[in-house]
Amino acid sequence: MPIFHGFFSLGTLLGAGIATATISLRMLTIWHFSIVAAMLVAIAVLAQVGLVGWEQENYGTRSKPSNRSNTASNQKLGLLLLLGLMVAGLSFAEGAANDWIALATVNGHGLPHHTGALMFTLFVAAMTAGRFAGGKIVDSVGPRRTLLLMGSIGLAGICIFLIGHGPIVLGIAAVMWGLGSSLGFPVGMTIAASQGSRLGPNAVSIISAFGYGAMLSGPPLIGFAVDHTGLPEALWIAFGVMLMSLLLTPRVTRVPAKITSVG
C-alpha cells in the first residue's frame, strides 16, 4: 500500500517540479494549466482502455459478514475510531503542507515565490521517497515503530519550519515534514485491510474517509486561524493534530496479525 500511495505522491512531485520551473521562467499560468489538462485527458483515456474487463476478471462476490455480539461490535467501532483518528491526524498534516507550506514560506518567512514553490517540491519529494521506501521499513521494524519514528520526524519538521529561518533550515524542515506525513495513510489502510475479519468488510473505506476528510477539511480550518493569528503561526494546529496522532499510534498498531507491504 505505501508504494501505491508513492505513485500518487510521484505525480504530485512532478506537478510541483513543473510549477517551480514555470514560476522561475515566468510562464503564464494558462499555458501551464492547459498542458497539464491535456496530459490528464490522455492519461485518463489510456487508463480507461487498460481497465476494460478488469472488474469482471478480478471482482468476485462478497461474502456477507457474520452476526457478532454487541461487545465485539463495540470493540470494532472503538478500534476503527482510534485508527481513523490516527490516520486523520497524519493526513491533516499532509493537507496542511499541501495548501499552506508554500504560502507560509512567502508570507510568513518573507522568502521569494520560487522558494515557496521549492519548499512544496521538497515536501512532496520527501513524501514520495518515504512512501516508496515505507514498505521495506514496515517489513523490517513493524508498523508501530515505523509510524512512531516517521511521526516523530514529522513533528520535529513542523516545529523547525515554524520557528526556523532561512531557506536551508526551512528546506530541511520541509523534508522532515514530508517524511513524517508519508506513511500514516497507507499504513493505516494496510492495517484496516489486514484486519478485515476483525474490523469488518468496510474498514478500508471508513479509514479512507477519515484520511481524505482530514486532508480536505484541514486546510480551510487553518485558513480561519490565519485570519486571527497569521502565518506561519496558524500551522501550530498541524503540530497539535500530528502530536495527537502520534500518541494514538501505540494503541492502534497493537494488532495480532503481521502487517506486510504491498508491491
Give per-residue pLDDT as tens, 234-261: 999 999 999 999 999 888 876 544 444 4
User: Which percentage of the chain shows pLDDT scores above 90?
Assistant: 36
Residue 69 lies inside a defined structural domain of this protein: no
Across 164-189, average pLDDT = 93
Model pLDDT, residue 71:
52
Residue 258 lies inside a defined structural domain of this protein: no
Instruction: Quick: pLDDT tens for 108-164.
Output: 999 998 899 899 989 999 998 998 898 889 889 988 899 999 999 999 999 999 999
Q: How many structural domains does the chain have?
A: 1
**How far from each other are the two terminal CA atoms of the chain, in whole angstroms?**
7
Model pLDDT, residue 239:
95
Residue 57 lies inside a defined structural domain of this protein: no
Across 175-196, average pLDDT = 87
Residue 25 lies inside a defined structural domain of this protein: yes
Do 170 and 105 touch, CB atoms closer than 8 A? Answer: yes
Model pLDDT, residue 162:
95
Residue 263 pLDDT class (50, 70, 90 cuts): very low
**Assigned C-alpha cell, 37:** 489538462
CA distances from 96 to 92, 232, 244 (A): 6, 11, 15
Crossing angle for the helix pair 70-103 and 203-229, to the nearest 10 degrees: 40
Residue 17 lies inside a defined structural domain of this protein: yes
Residue 61 lies inside a defined structural domain of this protein: no
Residue 68 lies inside a defined structural domain of this protein: no
What is the 8-class DSSP label of residue 232? T
Interior/surface letters 54-74, b for 16+ CB within 10 angstroms, e for the rest: eeeeeeeeeeeeeeeeeeeee
* CATH number for the domain harbouring residue 36: 1.20.1250.20
Domain that holds residue 100: 2-49+74-252
Model pLDDT, residue 257:
42
Helix (H) or strand (E) holding 10: helix 2-24
**Residue located via cell numbers 468488510:** 201
Looking at per-residue confidence, does 63 or 156 come out higher? 156
Model pLDDT, residue 191:
83
Residues 6+ apart with CB under 8 A from 20: 114, 117, 118, 120, 121
Residue 211 lies inside a defined structural domain of this protein: yes
